[in-house]
Amino acid sequence: MPPDSLDAVWHATATWFDLQPDGTVTIVDHFDFYAAIDSLLLPSLTEGMPAVAIEAALSGVPTIATNVGAVGEIIVDHEAGTTVPADSLDDFLAA
């Protein structure tokens, strides 16, 4: 993407995020954010029960995630998205 396109993407999404002085970022309006995306990518090596995957599923946004922690309990293949083995970049990219 050319720099002007990245700038446009930043400005289009910046209203959903609140950058704190300590560097943390919070999402201001979760469901407006999920309504604006086509899918969620969650390439984790370790997880517990990721709230982001639950929120995406509740919003009807499919998630492509590595099958670690409780991810496989949230994302039942082809219902809320797809899981792939955590050690396979090729499977993640193909999903």
Q: Kindly tell me if the per-residue pLDDT of 45 is higher than 70.
A: yes
Q: What is the mean pLDDT of residues 42-53?
A: 91
Tell me what pLDDT residue 71 has: 93
Q: Kindly tell me if the per-residue pLDDT of 74 is higher than 60.
A: yes
Q: What is the mean pLDDT of residues 29-39?
A: 79
Question: Are 53 and 43 within 8 A, CB to CB?
Answer: no
Question: How far is it, in rounded angstroms, from Cα 61 to Cα 59?
Answer: 6
